[in-house]
Chains A and B, each alone.
Chain A
Amino acid sequence: MENSILIKTVDLTKVYPMGGQSITALDSVSLTFRKGEFAGLVGPSGSGKTTLLNILGSLDTPTKGSAEVLGEKVETLSHKKAAALRNRHIGFIFQTFNLLPVYTAYENVEFPLLLLGLPPAARKKAVMDALDWVHLADRAKSRPNQLSGGQCQRVAIARAVVKKPSLVLADEPTANLDAENSHHILHTMEDINRELRSTFIFATHDEKVIGHLRRKIVLVDGKVAKDEVIKAA
C-alpha cells in the first residue's frame, strides 16, 4: 500500500468561459500521485496550478477528462459527496491562511474534527497534538489577529493535518511569508509528511518550496511540460 496510487488524472481539461471566449486552464493533464509523495506543481501564474489543485481537492470539476481521487471520480461527485471527501480525506493550506477570524487557533484546528463528529476528548488530544507539531501549543487561545503571518500559516497547517488526511493540498503556502518562516513551515510539512505518510501536493513558483520538493511537475499553459523526481523519499 506504501506506493499505492492516490490520485490519477486522465486527459484532465478545464476550460473557463470568459466573455465571449474560452480560456483553457488545463489541457489534457494526465498524472498519478502515490501515497506519501511530497510533490509540487510548478509554473508561472496562469499555468493552471491552482486549477489542478482545486480539481484534485474536489472544489472544482473538470470540463473534460477524469480525476480519480482516493477512489472517487471528482467529475461525478455531488456537492455533498465532494464535501464529505474533503472533510474526511483532504487537508487544504492556502496562500492567505484562510483562518476563521472569530475563532481561536485551537478552534480553527478543531473545526474539521467537529465536522467529523469526533468526541470532545479525542478532539482535544488531536488538536493539541497538531498544535504541538507546528510548535504553537502555547498560542492555542490566540485569535488570528493576535498571531504573526508565520504563526497563522502554522495554524493553517495544523488545521490541514489534524485529521491525519491522506492528501494535503497547499496553494502557494509560503507566498505571504518571509524566508525564515517559509523554511520553518516547509520543514514542519516535511516532518508531518514523514510522520503521517500523507501525500503533499503544492502549487508554487517559490524557489524555497521547490528546493524541498521530492517531485516537480512543471505546468506551462495548462500542459505538463516536465514531471521529474528530484529527490529520493
Chain B
Amino acid sequence: MIIPKLAFRNMLGAGAKTWLNAVVLSMAFVAIIWGQGLYIGMDAEVSRAMIEAEYGGGQYWVEGYDPFDPFTIQDAHRPLTGPLRALGEKGQATPFLIVQGTIYPGGRIVPVLLKGIDPGQKLLSIPSSVLKAADNELPALIGARMSATSGLKKGDTVTVRWRDAKGTFDAKDLLIVEVMRTTVQSIDNGQIWLPLQILQEMAGMPSEATIVVTEKNYGPAVLIPGWTFKNLDYLLADIKSVVQAKTIGSSILYSILLFLAMLAIFNTQLLSIWRRRKEIGTMMALGFSRGKVIRLFTLEGALNGVLAALVGAVYGIPLLAYTATHGLGLPADQIDSFGIAISEKLYPTYSGALVIGTTILVFSITTIVSFMPTRKIAKLKPTDALRGKLT
C-alpha cells in the first residue's frame, strides 16, 4: 500500500499542475460520455420515431418492391389474402398502397408518391384519422416538408394525376385536409397520404396493398407467398449506418481532446522525471528499487485519470443529467440536414456500460501514457540520479 499512498501524496503535492491535467483530462472524459450519449440517444430517438411513424414491428413487402427503385412501384401491389388479411382484421397490421402520381400546384409539375392508408389505423403515429372522407371530396394529408416544397397548405385543392392498374391515366382534385409536422422525412417528402380504400378504387387495385406494417413487437414472421418480411434490423440498418458515421465523426473530435490531455500528462511525466531526478536518487538511496520508483511514477500519472474522473463528476454529472432530462435544442432549420428523423430536441442516453467503458478507456490510456516516460528510470543509476543526471 505504500506506493499508492506515496503516489497520492506526490500527486496532491504537485499542486496546480495536477489540477490542470485533471481538468483537461476531465473535459475529454465528459466530452466522450456526452458525445457518445448524444449519439446513443439520437439512435434511440430516430429508431423510436421511425418505428412509431412508419416501421411498426416490421413490414411485409410485395415481392419485387424496392422503395429506392421507382420502376418497381408500378407492379408492386397484391391482394391482401389469408394471414395478412387476418392480421389486419385483428388490428395487428395495417396495409399501405403506393402509387406513383403527379400533382400540379401553381402550374408546376411535381411527381409524388400517393400512399393509401387506413384512416382508422392505430398502429402508426401518422394522423390518418383526418382522412375520413366527406362526400365528393378526396381528402389528402401531407407533411410540412411536402407543404413547403409544393406550396400547398391546409384547405388547398390541387389536381392529382395517376395511372391505374390497367395503364389508364386519370386525374382528380384533392383537398389538403391537414399538414402534419413530423420528424420522419420518409413519410413526408414527396408524399401524399390518401384514404386507402379510395386510392385502391382510383388505381383499380381493390383490396390490394404494397406493404403491410405490423404492430410493434410483432413476430415471428410467417412465410406468405408473394410477400417478403422486412424486420427492424433491415429497415433501420441505413439509419444506424448514418448514426454510426456521425459517431465516428464526433469520435475524431474527442480523440483529439483526449490526445491533448494525454500529451499534457506525458509532458508532465517527462518533466517530472527530469525535474525530480534527484528525488528519484534519494528514494533509491532510502531503499526504493527501480521497479518501485517506476510503479510510483506510473501510478502518480495514472491517478490523474482518477482525479479527472472526480473533477469530471463534479461538473459533468449535473451537466449530463441536465441535457438528459431537458434535451439539447437543435436549430429548427437545420434538423433536416441530418438526413435522419431527429426531433428539435435530442435527449442523450447515458448507460452504465458507456460510463464504465469510457472510464476504463481513459484509465488505461492514462496509465500507458504515464508509464512510457518512466522507462528512463529503469536505466538510471542511483549515483547519477543523486547528482541530478538522467542517463
Contacts from A to B (Cβ < 8 Å): 54, 57, 59-60, 79-80, 83-84, 86-88, 92, 94, 96, 98, 100-103, 107, 111-112, 114-117, 159
Known: A79-B290, A83-B292, A86-B285. 18 other contacts (CB 8 A): A59-B386, A83-B284, A83-B288, A84-B287, A84-B289, A87-B288, A88-B287, A92-B282, A98-B278, A98-B285, A100-B279, A107-B9, A114-B5, A114-B6, A115-B2, A115-B287, A116-B287, A117-B2
Bound Cα distance from A171 to B281, whole angstroms: 14
B267 is an interface residue with CB less than 8 A from chain A: no
User: What are some 6 contacts across the A-B interface (CB < 8 A)?
Assistant: A59-B285, A80-B289, A83-B288, A94-B386, A98-B386, A107-B9
Q: Is the CB of A54 within 8 A of B282?
A: no
Q: Is B13 within 8 A of A103, CB to CB?
A: yes
Output the least CB separation between A182 and chain B (Å).
22
Contacts of B283 in A (CB 8 A): 100
In the bound assembly, the distance between CA atoms of A14 and B322 in angstroms comes to 69
Q: Which of B289-312 contact A (CB under 8 A)?
A: 289-292
What residue in chain A is nearest B14 (Cβ atoms)? A102
A-chain residues with CB within 8 Å of residue B2 when the two chains form the complex: 114-115, 117
B348 / chain A contacts, CB cutoff of 8 Å: none
| Cross-interface CB contact of B383 among A60, A83, A102, A116, cutoff 8 Å | A60
Contact at B381–A101, with CB atoms within 8 Å?
Answer: no
Q: A54-B383, A59-B383, A102-B14 are in contact. Are A83 and B282 (CB under 8 A)?
A: no
Give the size of the chain B interface in residues (CB under 8 angstroms): 26
Which residues of chain B from 231 to 275 have a CB within 8 Å of any chain A CB?
A: none
Task: Take A103-B9, A112-B287 as given contacts and tell me if A59 and B282 are in contact as well, using a CB distance cutoff of 8 Å.
Answer: no
Contact A112 B9 (CB under 8 A): no
**In the bound complex, how far is the Cα of B285 from the Cα of A116, in angstroms?**
14
Within 8 A of A (CB), among B352-391: 381-383, 386
Note all chain B residues with C-beta closer than 8 A to A92.
282, 285-286
B10 at the interface (CB under 8 A from A): yes
The answer, among B13, B285, B287, for a CB contact under 8 Å with A102, is B13
Give complex CA distance A92, B286 in Å: 7
Main secondary structure of the interface of A (DSSP, over half): helix
- The interface residues of chain B lying within 8 Å CB-to-CB of A88 are 287
Partner of B286, one of A86, A96, A117: A86
Q: Which residues of A contact B285 (CB under 8 A)?
A: 57, 59, 86, 92, 94, 98
Q: Which of B282, B287, B292, B383 has the most CB of A within 10 A?
A: B287
**Min C-beta distance of A159 to chain B, whole Å:** 8
Which of A88, A96, A98, A103: most chain B Cβ within 10 A? A98
Central interface residue in A54, A57, A59, by most chain B CB within 10 Å: A59
Q: How far, in Å, is B160 (CB) from chain A's closest CB?
A: 81
* CB pair B381 A60 closer than 8 Å: yes
Beyond A98-B282, A114-B6, A115-B2, is A83–B381 a contact (Cβ under 8 Å)? no
Task: Please give, as numbers and ranges, the residues of chain A lying within 8 Å of B383 by CB-CB distance.
Answer: 54, 59-60
* Proximity string of chain B (5-48) to chain A, C-beta cutoff 8 Å, 1 when within and 0 when not: 11001101110000000000000000000000000000000000
The CA of A103 and the CA of B286, in the complex, are separated in Å by 15
User: Does the CB pair A102–B9 fall under 8 Å?
Assistant: yes
Residues of A within 8 A of B279 (CB): 98, 100-101
Residues of B contacting A60 in the complex (Cβ-Cβ under 8 angstroms)? 381-383
CB nearest to A93 among chain B residues: B285
What residues on A are CB-neighbors of B12 within 8 Å?
A: 102
Cβ-closest chain A residue relative to B291: A80
Of the candidates B278, B282, B288, which one forms a contact with A115 in the assembled complex, judged by CB atoms under 8 Å apart? B288
> Could you tell me the distance in whole angstroms from the C-beta of B246 to the nearest C-beta in chain A?
45
